Amino acid sequence: MTPRPPGHLEQRLLVLVTLGLVAFGLVMVFSATSASAALGAGDPMTFLAKQGAYAVGGLVLLTLASWFDYHRLRALAPILLMGTLGLCVAVLVVAPPINGAHRWFVIGPISVQPSELAKFAVCVWACALLARRPTPRTMGELLKPLGLVVGLFAALILLQPDLGTTISLGVMVAGILLVSEVPLRLLGLAASISLVLGAAAIYVEPYRRARFLSFLDPWHDPQGTGFQTVQAIIGMGSGGIMGEGLGHGVSKVSYLPEAHTDMIFAIVGEELGLIGSTLVVVAFGVFAWAGFRIALHCRDPFGKRLAAGLTTLVCGQAVINLCAVLGIAPLTGIPLPFVSYGGSSLVVLLASVGVLLNIAVNDRVVEARSRDRSGRNRRSHPARARSGGGAARARSDRDVRRQSRPRRVAAGS
């Protein structure tokens, strides 16, 4: 039996895990919002219908992206970067504030979050840049232009304000740099600078400072700044091993604000218990394994970096969200990929999975062609060896016959 080329198993796992998480997310969004939607809009299906529409659109993009040759993204990278940069500036100027934040363009029933598009655009551009240039060895090489461009986007996203997306952007770029074999000392220095800037961003905003302090001791003010963290922990703990049962959680009703967005994992823990929570964590672990396997086996420098960046984008957000819900990291507002309610995030992440699938398919094609060429070479070399060996044996036989002939003795000798 001919072994399957690298990427086949990973491709199937990505599809299964992604579809499973999206379907599971629709169920949990309905569970978390049906009661409040029925009381507010009079229709318990309100949030599910919107999320379902975004899921269908995202799956269409996933399919198209899996057919679209990812190499073409390399040429489109500057256009994507400048387009999303313009959107990030425009959302600060044009978009009306929603809950005190300028993050969304609202067009009828559709809301678009430019910062989600920016993460994908920066990922493609950074991978194209690092694939055609030598690996940065000094801080100056790292800053120009990569650090400056990433810093510009981070500043614009912070002004919205959106610290969570800024952190997600930084984690994604770190994943790209790691697979690009940037020296660890340089990565450590860049991470230290980022931490200092992040601490400054937290300090200058009172609500961020209060949120960070509540993370250090949420029980100090359980009815104030620590309320969301405390309720998430209580909800997770009350689920036990098996959970209260799907739809039977009480935290979402009046105890956990915005439970269908960044706190949806607390609802999973309460209603499905430790078993359901563990399955979600395992699903993201499988996604990470498959995505990074595709990256490590990809022969194309651009594809290798792009696969690593997109995998880090998905799994980095998942780790940050899960840690925040469990109380081991500050709340940042980052949604749980594929599961939390949110249209822009879901559509962009599904399109990213489509690109990952295309990288796997292209790498399999390259691997198959390489094996075909090596097979033809192996088949042709023995023939030349046999023909060369036959000629050598013929020459050897003639030499033996020539040497074995008796010498004629001249007359009179």
Say whether pLDDT at 61 is over 90. Answer: yes
Instruction: Please write the tens of the pLDDT for every residue from 224-246.
Output: 778 888 888 888 888 888 888 88
Instruction: Please write the tens of the pLDDT for every residue from 176-212.
Output: 999 998 898 999 999 999 899 888 888 888 878 888 8
Instruction: Please write the tens of the pLDDT for every residue from 270-293.
Output: 999 999 999 999 999 999 999 999
Calculate the alpha carbon distances from 388 to 96, 384, 392, 393 in Å: 81, 6, 6, 9
Say whether pLDDT at 392 is over 60. Answer: no
Entry pTM? 0.84
Say whether pLDDT at 11 is over 50. Answer: yes
pLDDT at 367: 57
Say whether pLDDT at 3 is over 50. Answer: no
Find out whether 102 and 94 touch, Cβ atoms under 8 Å. no
